[in-house]
Chains A and B, each alone.
Chain A
Amino acid sequence: MLWLALYFPQLPLESFTASSYIEHSRTAQVVLEQNRVHLANTVALSAGIVPGCSLATAYSIEPSLQHFRRDSNREAAELQKLAESLYGFSSLVSLAAPDSIVLEIQGSLRLFAQADLLIGARELCEKLGFTCLTGMAATATAAITLARSQSQSINDALLSQCGLEHQHVKHHVVEQLANMGLTTLGALLLLPRNEVAQRFGKALVLYLDKLEGQRHEPRKTIQPAETFERKIHLLQPITNKQQLLKGPMSKLSLELQQWLIGNQRGCEKLTWRFVEHSNNASTLHVRFTQGKQRQLELLSVSQLQLEQATLPADVLSIELKLISSTPWSTQPNDLFPTTQGTDNNGQSIGELVDALSARLGTQACQQIHGSDRHTPEYAWQFKKALQSASQTVLNEHSQASRPLWLLSKPHPVKATDLQLLQGPERIQSEWWLHSDARDYYIAQHRNGALCWVYRTAAILREQQRHEFYLHGYFA
């Protein structure tokens, strides 16, 4: 087994900044625990705020400081979300509380190259707003140890060279060991285990055994959620659609993408909800004709609809909910792209229909298909684009020519404007609907158009009987 550990050193701070979408690179920010600075970002550190100082001291150093109180529930929730997002890389994802995640990647290496997997996982975390450090080893504990040791800026260190400070070794034990001249794991591992157990307790031996893989280490794996529904609550309202799209919506759709990949689903319909202070909300329903997984596709169609929509002035929270999805089927790319139109910015028909219906409304895209009824009004049907309809076999008996254009409502024409060319063809409508028989003629209108006209054979309508009705054009 090969394990990949992701360690999030800034998790206490980033659980606030990532989920509330706060710009975190410019201003000094600290996280407090028991009124002392627990963690400071780089801006704060460079200003001279050190972990452990009081809030008052920190403010006196940097008046524009932002501070948050540490919230371990929030951290755990964010870690859970991250783990679910990483489920796309491995089926065995396990939380290592409080701030790490381990993935079993031996099986995943058949699908991903090792480097791709590492970079992919790291990029994903960064896009979601978390800095992470990675480590890879044969046991989960060793992987975590390697990831954590990198916070001392030693990259690719061997396990034996790792220091003891940032590991899950109790503080006084580290101090004791340091007094004995033992500062690296390598030195500690050389000592006989029995002696170590006697002096430093069983916990340390357990840790060392797990590190070397001498003791089994069952891990509880996460189960991804059945449904996808995420919210982002902002600390400062967003008033600009572009900002909304680049910030929270992009993050939420990335999370959705990962959920879809993890569950092997394609998104068919999703709902955005934008809420204001006073619970004034507006909702966007986005539909996809074919299941979609990629963030960019999800976002580009949402964007078209967002441009049309009116949102509350100040958006404070954004929700994304997946309404329906289909089992994912990959569309194979062409092995040999043909020369025509492969600039790769062209869309397939499904994407085009999605884009059109997002902008023009769901009813704007239609298809027609024939049905097996013989009356002209019912011999065709509109259907929504790209919805597979039952294939109707057109009856073969219709050898008589039919017009390409059909008028939705027959239009009376003067008989004197017409020159009859062919007919009559009697078409009897279904008697259970409305009984009338029509004699259809092909005629040329005075203006040159080739028309399909009819005359009702019904005797009932006395006053209309001489009139011809235009029902189609042989365009």
Chain B
Amino acid sequence: MCALKKSFNPVHPQDLLKHPLLWRGQQLTQPGSQPTVRTGFECLDEHLPGHGWPVGGLVEMLLAHAGIGELRLLLPALITLQGHAHGTWSIWINPPFIPYAPALEAAGVNGQRLLLVYPKTTEDFLWTLEAACKSVSCGAVLAWPVADKLKPHDTRRIQIAAKQGHTLACLFRPLAKRYNSSMAELRLALHPAKTSHHLLLDIVKRRGGWPIEQLQLALTDATPSVHTNAKHVQELFREWQIIQRHQVTTHPRIKGTDDLALTATLEANLHQAPRPITRHSLH
């Protein structure tokens, strides 16, 4: 009979988005949206949800082999977490090598608050990881699965445990697992960069954003430099080389061959063009 009078003012899409029940993924990327700890690297922080490593979530590091700077990437966050009032312990499960105490102390990690656990089976590994994540006294858990047979539901289990315990859980997995599905909150693929002071980083998965590739990170921003400028050393080598040659020609019998071999190696090294570093192709 009497129809409601229709308003012809069209609703603007922007206004629709302001509905209080609507929840947008972008909110996750705002700082303070979830408990995080600063990574110490500015350019990484701005790409991570909440601007830091999630405290209460699983982070996966995918890397081809050890030694490319994966620990240096985490060290600033570890040191920050050790300084917190709660959860001052870092627990390392199945580290592949021996964490070298003097180097850790020098980097600022409190070795007294570092616990190494060596479970034998995968079942024990997961149980340990879960127990460590849930413990109140533990701030960060770093884990290296032995033979990586983790299934997606295993990663889910760790993710939930980390969430409950407000722990930064970090799982180091081989790069080949990049295309396996995982319930981790954040997944990073690490590649060596051209110089050892840098690290190339792909964000494979993150909340509230698309994957990012080829993020270059200067490790020296937040961690002490491992070695001085190589050029200076190489100059010294060259000089030393010339002296050596001179000595060898004048005194050919001085325990010569040994040093000659070294100089040969050095020479080979010095004159080599910086090698292209093999990288896994990205899809």
Contacts and interface: CB of A to CB of B under 8 A. Distances in A.
A356 B128 contact: yes
Interface stretch (B19-27, B44-52, B59-67, B180-188): B59-67
B117 A449 contact: no
Interface stretch (B130-138, B150-158, B207-215, B242-250): B130-138
B105 A370 contact: yes
A447 B65 contact: yes
A407 B136 contact: no
Given A364-B119, A405-B99, A473-B67, A340 B87 contact: yes
Contact of A474 (B69, B101, B193): B69
Given A352-B137, A356-B131, A444-B196, A380 B67 contact: no
Contacts of A355: 131
A404 B278 CA distance: 24
Contacts of A423: 233
Interface stretch (A117-125, A157-165, A341-349, A429-437): A341-349
Contacts of B87: 340-341
A466 B261 CA distance: 7
B14 interface: no
B185 to A, nearest CB: 18
Interface string A411-455: 000011011111100000000000000000010111111110001
Question: In terms of DSSP, what is the predominant structure of the interface of chain A?
Answer: mixed
Interface in A444-475: 444-451, 455, 459, 465-466, 472-475
B43 interface: no
Interface string A376-411: 100111100100000000100010011111111000
Given A369-B112, A404-B104, A445-B67, A349 B277 contact: no
A438 to B, nearest CB: 13
Question: In terms of DSSP, what is the predominant structure of the interface of chain B?
Answer: mixed
Given A368-B111, A459-B255, A475-B70, A348 B128 contact: no
A385 B115 contact: yes
B46 to A, nearest CB: 25
A179 to B, nearest CB: 71
A475 B266 contact: no
A333 interface: no
Of the listed residues B100, B114, B255, the one surrounded by the most CB atoms of chain A closer than 10 A to its CB is: B100
Contacts of B65: 447-449
Contacts of A140: none
B226 A442 contact: yes
B101 A368 contact: yes
B94 to A, nearest CB: 10
Contacts of B67: 405, 445, 449-451, 473-475
Contacts, number: 211
Contacts of B71: 404-405, 475
A254 to B, nearest CB: 25
B134 to A, nearest CB: 6
A330 interface: no
Contacts of A263: none
Given A356-B117, A385-B115, A405-B66, A442 B269 contact: no
Given A341-B166, A474-B226, A475-B71, A408 B137 contact: no
A243 to B, nearest CB: 24
Given A422-B233, A448-B277, A338 B86 contact: yes
A359 interface: yes
A359 B115 CA distance: 16
B96 interface: yes
A419 B117 contact: no
A345 B275 CA distance: 53
B272 interface: yes
Nearest to B109: A404
B116 A380 contact: no
A60 interface: no
B66 A474 contact: no
Contacts of B233: 420-423
Interface of B: 64-72, 85-87, 89, 95-107, 111-112, 114-120, 124, 127-128, 131-132, 134-138, 164-166, 191-193, 196, 224-228, 230, 233, 237, 255, 258, 261-262, 265-266, 268-269, 272, 274-275, 277-278
Given A459-B258, A475-B67, 10 more contacts: A359-B124, A364-B119, A367-B111, A402-B102, A403-B100, A405-B98, A415-B269, A419-B272, A442-B226, A465-B258
Interface of A: 338, 340-343, 345-349, 351-353, 355-356, 359-360, 363-370, 376, 379-382, 385, 394, 398, 401-408, 415-416, 418-423, 442, 444-451, 455, 459, 465-466, 472-475
The 5 nearest A-B residue pairs measured at CB: A448-B192, A473-B67, A346-B136, A449-B67, A370-B101
